[in-house]
A and B are shown apart, each in its own frame.
Chain A
């Protein structure tokens, strides 16, 4: 009974997904850099940046699906982890500006000079080193998730209660980051980045590389999620999702499982935010807005909760639609459409695109196998689902 764990860990859908992401990650940068501008296949740089954003959202969606789809934890504050990762990266990028800022201060970012600060606050130390910032991208969201989760799961805050307090968490952070004296640029956030690891963030080559890196991060994130959900731990997570107290009575320490997966998920969200910031060129407190986090949840719902491919796909589809509609004449109607999407998906498509497709595929496969079997052992017209091992 063990071998199926491994074979299942990469089914056909997952393989196709990984291949597509890998192909995009290689081809889009190549088509952008190597082909001459105006050529049919040439990908303009703004599209590279746009799709880079989508890929980051896909990673965020994966992280949400990991906890919501597989463990039933609906976090309405995952945007906070995304934003914290983004801020950690933004702080590195700010420190890289050096004397090229408006005020030319070699140490202090412009906004601190503007606020008449004399020295760098202690929590900005170390962010001039990339390795430290990269560590913080994982560590800060992870630590917050760990502390928050430890408090919440230990006292068995579940369901909508958890959702509401996660929302309160990101709301509190939103208020905090809006403050100038918090030391993160207040309202305006961090922006005017110059370079990353010595490369100009605006340069085509850097953008292409960042896009490729985002795709790589998506692949790695996907593989990590996949490994988690296809292990026995994944079965425990699903057990927790479906019958939490039953799982407890079997002797599982449910809060530890939740804490583990919540923290992993927050780190992933942090990485997504860190890759997002250099590609969009700004991070500001509005990333903490509760609305953003809920919107990310709907990507997962649209794509298919509990299917990792679906989460990533949902993020891209919804955001592509958003870009498409908000840039045209239909812009005033976008919120109607987004709102309707929330309602229609939950009412009519609870499994999401991929989930519904999977169900349809399984059913038709069954029908085919049932038809091919000469003795169609149909009892009362109901085919019994039998999975071939």
Chain B
């Protein structure tokens, strides 16, 4: 906050200053420079850009950005220059006063490639002192990328005033980048620049260091050592990045598979329509957001919080319905269950296609889920982070529920010994329906989360079904922890294979590895042993 306030204060003072001095002085250097645009001469234009950019005039930014966009009109006869706004209204570039119309004799000030670069640099330096921190940071970064010598003064000026730490760092780096390429910079300055870039330590810094051209030997040597140090730190960061992507993919896999771990893993029911439960959850999110958009726009940020329980109920209820109407007649006939539920998945997909159309539906990210933050050299998006946390929370709740709640106890009893459970007075068919409903409901919740990162279309579920089964089978059927480990192992393995083999080949490799793995351990990573398993 203080930075913002002081920045506002600065700009306030600045505008006072402008009003006090710039405007009344009619034929100052600023106005002369503006008039130069009308000469239609590239070197005059360049000179004008330089003067205007360093003038501090509040019209500098509109003029130069208009120049960049070809909206700066100059009349060679009257030597008057106009800025045509994007809204079609025009102002006099020298005074800022609105004009009714630009004379027909005026034409757009022309640019060539060299000019374009200095215009970019000028714009960069102009925004370096913008009151908004984000704009300043962006400007500093664009100067860093262009490292135009002309921006050095502006950077130095901005650096002197800057109080925000991250902008200050960015400005420092921009300055270093400029100095590195400035032919008349001293060796000491260049060495300092190399050190600054080394501290930055990312791909861009390395690109600058490798492409800096002829330099004094001491600088070349320092740069070489900086490059190797950046390379090794980049290697570490890319590992961290892959690990993060892997965790993120793993959490998606886990989310999709966790419901299956209940229906397939615990109950032994092979539900090929599991993916469609996920899809239903995603469409529930869509409907919730639609209602919110049209009726209660203020609640948009809470849409997911509303969608989660709703998706659980909707998908769970459909699950119970499926269990009661189809699956209970097929217990003990897994292959038939597989076929019937596959048929069901076709019906559900087609139903959704009929209701919502075959194309992707837009599901928005609430504000707390959009955006990203940087952690060292890697970027972590909030939606991925939230999904990871959400997945782990769902997993923990499920585990606790199975372990401590009465229904969890009944579920475990029924799956371990149906007849014994029945004779102890547990209504096994009710427990079956509830267990299946639970698995489906969790799939629905998964759909809410997946709607944030994937296309919500009728085919959403299909893309997860094979992966989910792979996770459950890999982790070991009937073992939730196995599913957890399986999901993260596969996710991380996939992301580490991807850079080596490419996305598709990586995926193929994973499938082949799982097939080979199942040969070795047919019952997964964490298999139950014993006589009962075989029966």
Return chain A residues, CB-CB under 8 Å to B229.
none
B339 adjacent to A297 (CB under 8 Å): yes
The residues of B that contact A76 with a CB separation of less than 8 Å are: 338
Q: Is there a chain B Cβ closer than 8 Å to A215's Cβ? A: no
Segment 284-306 of A: residues with Cβ below 8 Å from B: 290, 294, 297-298, 301
Q: Are B466 and A290 in contact (CB under 8 A)?
A: yes
Q: Are B339 and A301 in contact (CB under 8 A)?
A: yes
Q: Is the CB of B346 within 8 A of A164?
A: no
| A151-B326 in contact (CB<8A) | no
| From B326, B337, B343, B473, contact of A341 by CB (8 A) | B343
- Selecting from B12-20, B27-35, B506-514, the interface stretch reads B506-514
A96 within 8 A of B: no
Is A325 an interface residue when CB atoms closer than 8 A count as contact? no
Q: What is the interface residue range for chain A against chain B?
A: 35 or more
B308: interface (CB < 8 Å): no
B349 interface residue (CB < 8 Å to A) = yes
Q: Are B342 and A175 in contact (CB under 8 A)?
A: no
Cβ < 8 Å to A, chain B residues 218-261: none
Contact across chains for A346 and B519 when beta carbons are under 8 A apart? no
Closest chain A residue to B466, Cβ basis: A171
Name the residue on B nearest A290 (C-beta): B466
**Chain B hits for A148, CB < 8 A:** 515
Cα-based distance from A127 to B41 in the complex (angstroms):
68
- Cβ of A183 under 8 Å from chain B: no
Interface 9-mer from B59-67, B97-105, B162-170, B327-335: B327-335
Annotate A304-341 by CB proximity to B: 1 below 8 A, 0 otherwise. Answer: 00000000000000000000000000001101101111
Contact status A343-B466, CB under 8 Å: no
Residues of B within 8 A of A294 (CB): 339, 342
Contact A176-B508, Cβ < 8 Å, known A152-B519, A167-B466, A335-B350: yes
Tell me which of A155, A178, A332, A350 contacts B522 (CB under 8 A): A155
Taking CB as reference atom, which chain B residue is nearest A174? B508
Complex: A164 Cα to B520 Cα, angstroms: 16
A157: nearest chain-B partner, CB-CB = B522
Indicate which residue in A160, A290, A340 contacts B270 across the interface (CB closer than 8 Å).
Answer: A160
B504 to A343, Cβ gap below 8 A? no
Determine whether the beta carbon of B335 is less than 8 Å from that of A339: no
**Is the Cβ of A343 less than 8 Å from the Cβ of B334?**
no
List chain A residues, Cβ under 8 A from B345.
339
A188 surroundings in chain B (CB, below 8 A): none
- Of B326, B473, B507, B516, the residue contacting A343 (CB under 8 A) is B326
- How many inter-chain residue pairs (CB < 8 Å) link A and B? 120
Residues of B within 8 A of A163 (CB): 270, 335, 338
Contact of A175 among B270, B351, B508 (CB under 8 A): B508
Q: In chain B between 451 and 484, which residues have their CB closer than 8 angstroms to a CB of chain A?
A: 466, 469-470, 473
Instruction: Return the chain A residue nearest B346 by Cβ.
Output: A339
Within the complex, what minimum Cβ distance (angstroms) separates A209 from chain B? 36
Interface size, B (range):
35 or more
Q: Which positions 81-110 of chain B face chain A at CB distance < 8 Å?
A: none
User: Would you call A160 and B507 a contact (CB within 8 A)?
Assistant: no
Residues of chain A within 8 A (CB-CB) of B305 are none
Q: Which of B191-242 contact A (CB under 8 A)?
A: none
Note all chain B residues with C-beta closer than 8 A to A290: 466
A360 at the interface (CB under 8 A from B): no
**B473 to A338, Cβ gap below 8 A?**
no
Q: Given A335-B349, A346-B330, verify A165-B518 contact (CB < 8 Å).
A: yes
**Residues of chain A lying within 8 A (CB to CB) of residue B342:** 294, 342
What residues of chain A lie closer than 8 Å to B336, measured between beta carbons? 346, 350
B374 on the A face (CB < 8 A): no
Q: Is the CB of A168 within 8 A of B511?
A: yes
B-side interface mostly: helix
Contact with B along A180-224 (1 / 0, CB 8 A): 000000000000000000000000000000000000000000000
Q: Is residue A100 contacting chain B, with contact meaning CB distance below 8 A?
A: no
The answer, yes or no, to whether B77 is at the interface (CB within 8 Å) is no
Q: Does A8 contact B (CB under 8 A)?
A: no
> What is the CB-to-nearest-CB distance from A347 to chain B, in angstroms, rounded to a whole number?
6
Does residue A161 face the partner (Cβ distance < 8 Å to B)? yes
> Are A340 and B347 interface neighbours, CB within 8 A?
yes
Which of A164, A332, A340 makes the CB contact (< 8 A) with B354?
A332
Q: Which residues of B contact A335 (CB under 8 A)?
A: 346-347, 349-350
Cβ B507 vs Cβ A298 within 8 A = no
Known: A175-B508, A335-B349, A346-B340. A74 touches B335 (CB 8 A): yes
Q: Beyond A74-B335, A175-B508, is A342–B515 a contact (Cβ under 8 Å)? A: no
Interface residue B534 (Cβ < 8 Å from any Cβ of A)? yes
- Binary contact readout B342-360 vs A (1 if CB under 8 angstroms, 0 otherwise): 1111111111001000000
Contact between chains at B339 and A172 (CB < 8 Å): no
A178 contact set on B, CB distance < 8 A: 504
In the complex, the answer to whether B466 meets A339 with C-beta atoms within 8 Å is no
Q: A179-B504, A347-B326 are in contact. Are A161 and B518 (CB under 8 A)?
A: yes
Q: Chain A, 69-102, contact with B by CB distance < 8 Å: what is the 0/1 string?
A: 0000010100000000000000000000000000
Task: List, in ascending order, chain B residues with CB within 8 A of A156's CB.
Answer: 522
Distance between Cα atoms of A136 and B507 in the complex (Å): 27
Which 7 pairs across A and B sit closest by C-beta, in order of nearness?
A: A342-B343, A339-B346, A339-B347, A335-B350, A172-B511, A339-B343, A346-B340
12 A–B contact pairs at CB < 8 A? A148-B515, A152-B515, A168-B469, A168-B511, A171-B466, A172-B507, A333-B350, A336-B347, A339-B345, A339-B347, A342-B342, A347-B326
Given A165-B515, A346-B343, 15 additional A-B pairs, CB 8 A? A148-B515, A155-B522, A157-B518, A159-B335, A164-B470, A172-B507, A175-B504, A175-B507, A336-B350, A342-B344, A343-B340, A343-B343, A345-B339, A346-B336, A346-B339
Q: Which A residues have a C-beta under 8 Å from some C-beta of B?
A: 68, 74, 76, 148, 151-152, 154-157, 159-161, 163-165, 167-169, 171-172, 175-176, 178-179, 245, 290, 294, 297-298, 301, 332-333, 335-336, 338-343, 345-347, 350
